[in-house]
């Protein structure tokens, strides 16, 4: 099943260009070093999901953060909901900025660093569009919307400035699943947005976390432009990326998907030493047991480490409360259950984090083969299978 159908239906390796003083002040024990392994999670609040931005209660969040820290995570990716934070073109909600400020403080107390998404957009199969939404490709070219985008970025940056546990901004949650444009337009906007983020929050590590589509075929942002960024991000899911067409859950197209995606990024970058961040990963195979998911997690991260993936940010921290109406697979993707029980995959995540966090990344010595000649799902999978040296069984 294509992820978009689901959504529609429901540079320097050692240290990023932040001053050494600023980098060392991050709440975790590891600065913004792209050549050291880090482990984190995409945070999903156990109490009222991300609807909690509008129904704020810090107490369950404190319990969540304690549990996440106990698993060995050192950073969280936070999902802002754009229309909640910016209900109007000319106004950003002070109440929501204050709640973000509280969350960043609570994270800092637990040595958890924050990657803050902005234009979300789309999350777990639901759209969260601002009231001032205009037809595509307006978000990337409309002057009025650009002014609103700048307003939000600068308001968030002022809130984040007070904290020393900020990694940086993520543009949004897979913006290309929500807004679309020809790649020349998307790439031009991406260049402007990186410049704005660097101006508003200088020294931050800012990224554009898209789903797998732009890496497989032209979709809003080009693979070459994404790969050229300081720290390209991959979102790798066997279920959504069609890996299961080429083998079972424990076969290389699935268990080595992080490694193969990283090689693909380096192919487009033309750089064997390019750092890569696995910003989202999970199987999203609903029928897989906890034991099976834990086995996959261990295999996938181990293969990613062998291929020199730098940072790993699992999707997600907690299962979603079944009182909410989501696609059924969303209820079981966490390292922890909704009531806080550590699942098998949570236990394995902790072991991996304890074994590898802070270790030097062993980058590949040879640049992968040139990018796929045919940038389509089939053409890209042919490239990935060749990289994996995997021949699918005849069906």
For 175, residues 6+ apart whose C-beta sits below 8 A from its C-beta are 119, 121, 122, 208, 210, 220
Residue at 395 is within a domain = no
Residue at 237 is within a domain = yes
Q: Which residues pair with 113 in a beta bridge?
A: 75
Q: Which residues pair with 221 in a beta bridge?
A: 219
Stronger pLDDT, 15 or 59, i.e. the higher one: 59
pLDDT-based confidence at residue 40 (cuts at 50, 70, 90): very high
Average pLDDT, the chain: 92
CA–CA dist 333, 322 (Å, integer): 12
For 145, residues 6+ apart whose C-beta sits below 8 A from its C-beta are 89, 132, 134, 138, 139
**Does residue 274 surpass a pLDDT of 50?**
yes
For residues 372 and 215, the answer to whether their CB atoms sit within 8 Å is no
For residues 219 and 176, the answer to whether their CB atoms sit within 8 Å is yes
Rounded to two decimals, the pTM is 0.93
CA–CA dist 171, 155 (Å, integer): 15
Residue 215 in tokens: 């890496």
- CATH code for position 328: 3.20.20.80
Strand-by-strand arrangement of the 166-170 sheet: 166-170, 113-117, 75-78, 38-42, 311-315, 277-281, 233-236
| 222-271 residue pLDDT tens | 999 999 999 999 999 999 999 999 999 999 999 999 999 999 999 999 99
Q: How many domains does the chain have?
A: 1
Residue at 394 is within a domain = no
Long-range (24+ apart) CB contacts under 8 A made by 134-140 are 136/179, 136/180, 136/181, 137/179, 137/180, 137/181, 137/182, 137/185, 137/186, 139/179, 139/189, 140/179, 140/181, 140/185, 140/186, 140/188, 140/189
CB atoms within 10 A of CB 182: 14
**Does residue 200 surpass a pLDDT of 60?**
yes
Residue at 287 is within a domain = yes
Residue at 86 is within a domain = yes
Would you call 359 exposed, middle or buried from its count of C-beta atoms within 10 A (0-12, 13-18, 19+)? Answer: exposed
User: What DSSP assignment string belongs to 45-94?
Assistant: -TTTGGGGGGS--HHHHHHHHHHHHHTT--EEEE---HHHH-SBTTB--H
CA–CA dist 134, 87 (Å, integer): 14
**Does residue 152 surpass a pLDDT of 80?**
yes
Q: Average pLDDT in the 1-17 region?
A: 40
Q: Average pLDDT in the 183-189 region?
A: 98
User: What DSSP assignment string belongs to 274-331?
Assistant: ---EEEEE----TT--HHHHHHHHHHHHHHHHHTT--EEEEE-SBPPPTTS---GGGG
Residue at 393 is within a domain = no
Where do we find the tokens 């969260």?
Answer: 128
For residues 311 and 327, the answer to whether their CB atoms sit within 8 Å is no
Name the residue range of residue 98's domain. 3-388
Q: Which residues pair with 88 in a beta bridge?
A: 91
| 303-328 residue pLDDT tens | 999 999 999 999 999 999 999 999 89
Residue at 51 is within a domain = yes
**Does residue 177 surpass a pLDDT of 50?**
yes
Residue 220: helix, strand or coil by DSSP?
A: coil
Residue at 369 is within a domain = yes
**Does residue 2 surpass a pLDDT of 80?**
no
């Amino acid at each position: 099943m294509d992820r978009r159908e689901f959504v529609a239906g429901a540079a320097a390796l050692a240290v990023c260009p932040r001053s050494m003083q600023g980098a060392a002040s991050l709440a975790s024990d590891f600065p913004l070093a792209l050549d050291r392994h880090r482990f984190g999670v995409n945070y999903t609040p156990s109490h009222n999901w991300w609807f909690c931005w509008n129904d704020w209660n810090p107490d369950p969040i404190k319990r969540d953060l304690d549990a996440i820290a106990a698993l060995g995570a050192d950073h969280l990716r936070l999902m802002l909901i754009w229309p909640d934070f910016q209900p109007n073109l000319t106004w950003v909600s002070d109440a929501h900025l204050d709640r973000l400020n509280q969350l960043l403080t609570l994270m800092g107390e637990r040595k958890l660093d924050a990657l803050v998404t902005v234009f979300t957009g789309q999350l777990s199969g639901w759209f969260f569009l601002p009231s001032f939404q205009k037809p595509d490709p307006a978000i990337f070219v409309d002057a009025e919307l650009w002014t609103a985008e700048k307003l939000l970025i600068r308001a968030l940056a002022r809130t984040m400035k007070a904290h020393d546990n900020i990694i940086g901004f993520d543009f949004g949650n897979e913006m290309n699943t929500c807004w679309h444009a020809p790649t020349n337009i998307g790439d031009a906007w991406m260049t402007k947005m990186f410049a704005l983020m660097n101006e508003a929050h200088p020294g931050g590590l800012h990224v554009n976390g898209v789903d797998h589509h732009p890496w497989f075929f032209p979709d809003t942002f080009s693979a070459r432009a994404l790969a050229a960024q300081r720290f390209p991000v991959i979102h790798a899911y066997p279920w959504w990326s069609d890996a299961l067409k080429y083998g079972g859950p424990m076969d290389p197209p699935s268990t080595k998907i992080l490694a193969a995606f990283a090689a693909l990024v380096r192919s487009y970058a033309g750089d064997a030493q390019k750092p890569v961040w696995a910003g989202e990963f999970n199987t999203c195979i609903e029928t897989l047991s906890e034991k099976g998911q834990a086995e996959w997690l261990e295999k996938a991260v181990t293969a990613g480490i062998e291929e020199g993936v730098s940072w790993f940010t699992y999707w997600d921290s907690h299962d979603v409360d079944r009182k909410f109406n989501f696609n059924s697979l969303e209820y079981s993707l966490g390292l922890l259950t909704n009531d806080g029980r550590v699942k098998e995959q949570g236990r394995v995540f902790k072991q991996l984090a304890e074994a590898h966090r802070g270790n030097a990344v062993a980058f590949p010595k040879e640049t992968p083969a040139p990018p796929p000649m045919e940038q389509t799902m089939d053409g890209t999978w042919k490239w990935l299978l060749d990289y994996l040296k995997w021949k699918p069984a005849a069906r």
